[in-house]
Homo-oligomer: A and B are copies of this chain.
Amino acid sequence: MAAEPESVERILEEHLPADKLEIVNRILYGSSSRVLALPAECAALGEKGNFEVKGHQIAAGCEQLRSPRLVRIGLIQNQIVLPTTAPVKEQRDAIHKRIAEIAEAAGKARVNVLCMQETFAMPFAFCTREKTPWSEFAESAEDGPSVQLCQEFAKRYNMVVICPILERDEVHFGTIHNAAVVISNTGKVLGKSRKNHIPRVGDFNESTYYMEGNTGHRVFETQFGRIAINICYGRHHPLNWLLYGLHGAEIVFNPSATVGALSEPMWGIEARNAAIAQTYFTAAINRVGTESFPNEFTSGDGKKAHNAFGHFYGSSYVAAPDGSRTPGLSRTRDGLLVTEVDLNLVRQVKDKWCFQMTGRYEMYAEELAKVVGPDFKPNIIKETE
């Protein structure tokens, strides 16, 4: 099998003359994303630890009455470290250690809000439909080991940290959820946001483990902006993105785990469309590499039972409400993407494009109520004789 290409951006940079590259980047990526110089220590840590470090910034206009509200968003994408056959605690500890290395670079880069990928501290074992040992990775959203790790980052580096975990809710009958815990830069747990839409596609057998989330569309007001979390498959659901926006989010994170053949042409589209349509920043994070499991599992779509998930293609990026986006991180390597944004852009673009003003939400609330009602008849016009 041919090696996975590193990224579309790398191919374009290597082969297009500068003037053509400028045109292609302007049309495909928008023009407001620029390289952000990071402290030399960040690159050094990346080199030492074999992870990519990339810095970008997305500009906003000057205003007379507000100062810029610069926020540095950090996204971490990573492979698992040990094989899935290793003891659960060793697997998790090894990932924690790895994440701590990358988080250190985020600290040096003065990241304000750091987000990890979906269920970052475990393999994405839901393909297997086996309950053990994978359910043992589930942990408390108040004080589980991954939450504690992220609390350390938060305090050490003065950053808000979004910590996506497999959650065990002991209060509610010990049920499992797919959730993200938001930790303030003081180290305090602000709350959690659960995955609202659970896939039934390909190897994504997550509905065997947890149900649709019940935490609605909360938005967390932090020192570095109002943030929300739309976990993985929720990015395919425009209504999900919409509601986070209507509740006031300025940055919506999309910690994900998704594989090549299935979703890659959609990856650059969905979180970016949400940034445009809802007029906020979005940050999409995907894990990296292929994960193999001890027992074969059915393919779900006519292929032979197999042990390995497809290739998680990384490519984490940030998209802005003006239609621009950063390049993606590598398709193959662990990485840290640091993106400095000016949150003032949100209101500037709202005032310019007026999507909320022209949104006709009252009409849609009524229409949607009809659609889900028992007497719904689609409005179909046919040719009459």
Q: Which of A1-16 contact B (CB under 8 A)?
A: 5, 8, 11-12, 15-16
A226 near B269 with CB under 8 A, answer no
Q: Which candidate, A68-76, A86-94, A374-382, is the interface stretch facing chain B?
A: A374-382
> Interface size of A by Cβ–Cβ distance < 8 Å?
87
The one of B191, B248, B276, B358 in contact with A197, judged by C-beta atoms closer than 8 angstroms, is B358
**Is A190 in the interface zone, CB < 8 Å from B?**
yes
Tell whether, in the assembled complex, residue A238 and residue B242 are in contact, meaning their CB atoms are under 8 Å apart: yes
Which single member of B23, B196, B325, B365 contacts A11 (CB below 8 Å)? Answer: B23
> Can you tell how many copies of this chain the complex includes?
2
Q: Which of A135-189 contact B (CB under 8 A)?
A: 182, 184, 186, 188
Verify if A129 is at the interface (C-beta below 8 Å from B): no
| A324 interface residue (CB < 8 Å to B) | yes
Q: Which of B24, B200, B217, B242 is the one whose CB lies under 8 Å from A357?
A: B200
Q: Which residues of B contact A357 (CB under 8 A)?
A: 200
Residues of B within 8 A of A31 (CB): 265
- Residues of B near A361 (CB, < 8 A) are 239, 368, 371-372
Give the segment of A34-42, A110-118, A120-128, A347-355 that binds chain B.
A347-355
Is B379's CB under 8 angstroms from A216's CB? yes
Report chain B residues within 8 Å CB of A12. Answer: 24
Q: Given known contacts A5-B23, A27-B265, A359-B237, is B273 in contact with A352 (CB within 8 Å)?
A: no
